[in-house]
Amino acid sequence: MRRAVWLAALLVAILAVGYAVKRYPGDPHFLNAPVPDFVALFDAPPSKISARTRQELDEMLAIQARRTPSDIQAARADRKTDVWQFAAALGLPPDEMRGLRELRSLAGQVEDDVRSYVRAAKKHFLRLRPYEVEPLLAPCIHNVRRDLSYPSGHAAYGYVMAYLLSEMVPERRRQLMARAQEFARQRVVCSVHFPSDIEAGRRGAEWLAQRLLQNEPYRAAAAPVARELRAALNLPATPLAQAGPAR
């Protein structure tokens, strides 16, 4: 009896571990491109003692010197990666966009995929945050201290969302891309990313979005989301565009 109980407990533990591994958020939902191909997109960032890094740090010190309390408030408001951050660019009230459950579910799955690729690149390049290189920089957000800097995951997320939403609502492409640029730039305003981190994040987002848009499971999942979003905007239903993200 004791042996049977022990075996049953062991079986439950194995099944629990297997379920946890299966559900681990690093598992891809849609992206299956080789991660080394993504990492290979990027040149190595400048060393922390290079003239290029010094130039970026001086630019950031100048931004810090002129940032206002309202600039800080806006940057802090953009610290979270959530699709409702693009509500105004789409012409929707944030609360209404939060209620679009299918959109939020798809955006969460995409964010999981993006994060796994960006983390691999960060671990490859091991670039320190700018305030760790220049002590005169005072970050205005403090939830990034254990993370690396290059490429910017915040920028990658923002641009991927803008590209994908633009495919669903091409009428708002200009506003969405402007919002992605603003969303990414806030990380420089808050002294937690170098400008070159932001540009690398944008470049990585273009690569990721192209592969998402070419992925049939993603397109199947995105079709009802596009209908939901366009209905909320009182726009006629339309299929997703076939083209990749605009450059």
- With the CA atoms of 223, 224, 227 and 228 taken in that order, what torsion angle do they form, in degrees rounded to the nearest 10? -140
45-60 pLDDT, tens per residue? Answer: 999 999 999 999 999 9
Q: What is the DSSP string of 52-99?
A: HHHHHHHHHHHHHHH--HHHHHHHHHT-S--GGGGHHHHT--HHHHHT
Is the four-CA dihedral 106, 152, 214, 25 of positive or negative sign? negative
Distance CA 25, CA 114 (A): 11
* pLDDT (mean) for 184-191: 96
**Cα angle at 190 between 76 and 172, to 5 degrees?**
60
Q: Delimit the domains of the chain by residue range.
A: 26-232
89-98 pLDDT, tens per residue? Answer: 999 998 999 8
Q: What is the DSSP letter of 172?
A: G
Q: What is the pTM for the complete model shown?
A: 0.84
Q: What pLDDT score does 190 carry?
A: 94
Domain 26-232 belongs to what topology? Vanadium-containing Chloroperoxidase; domain 1 (1.20.144)
pLDDT surpassing 70 at residue 25: no
pLDDT surpassing 50 at residue 17: no
